[in-house]
Amino acid sequence: MSKKIGLVMGSDSDLPVVEKAIATLEEYGVPYEVHVYSAHRTPVPAAEFAKNARANGFGAIIGFAGMAAHLAGALAANTTLPVVGVPVKSTHLDGMDALLSTVQMPSGIPVATVAINGASNAALLCIQMLAIEDKELADKLDAKRAASAETVLEKNRKVEEKYNK
Ligand code: RP5
């Protein structure tokens, strides 16, 4: 059984973004847990989750947060599991506030930050981490990449056929 991925969001208002990561994990059959723990509003449960994550069977954690988005960093401070940060776009500043808060971690406590709302890539990155030791998962990733490349090549064929006389 594969290790679990922990999906932790700062607010349930982040759920529409988190659901994209859930869809990707489902696609690969990777187990996960979903929680709402805020770095600001519920700092103790957030820290406890991260502290116990390795013992509880997690292989990596994704932190989703908007605004002054300290969640991924706060989780990373309490575990040596890999932590991926997803800056969530909220009402102001187009998500730049969350991007900078998540990506600019001081030396020593890394957070692998993906694009603003980049939930699917966050899940894929975690799946790729698990696939280091999981050949079946690595094969699924290869097959999916090949299928995706084929889709793009087919689009290219159509565009070339239309415009390159
Ligand atoms: C952050 O503040 C959350 O991650 C969310 O993106 C943002 C706004 O939260 P709500 O006011 O919608 O609960 O902590």
Q: What is the pLDDT of residues 67-93, one digit of tens each?
A: 999 999 999 999 999 999 999 999 889
Q: Is the CB of 95 under 6 A from ligand 1?
A: no
Same domain, 142 and 85: no
pLDDT tens, 108-122? 999 999 999 999 999
CA 115–ligand 1 middle distance (angstroms): 18
Same domain, 13 and 73: yes
Contact 48, 122 (CB under 8 A): no
Share of the chain above pLDDT 90, in %: 97
pLDDT tens, 91-148? 889 999 999 999 999 999 999 999 999 999 999 999 999 999 999 999 999 999 999 9
pTM of this structure: 0.96
Measured by CA distance, the residue closest to atom 12 of ligand 1 is 13
Same domain, 114 and 84: yes
CA 107–ligand 1 middle distance (angstroms): 26
Same domain, 43 and 72: yes
The sheet carrying 4-9 orders its strands as: 32-36, 4-9, 58-66, 83-88, 112-113
Domain of residue 37: give its range: 4-133
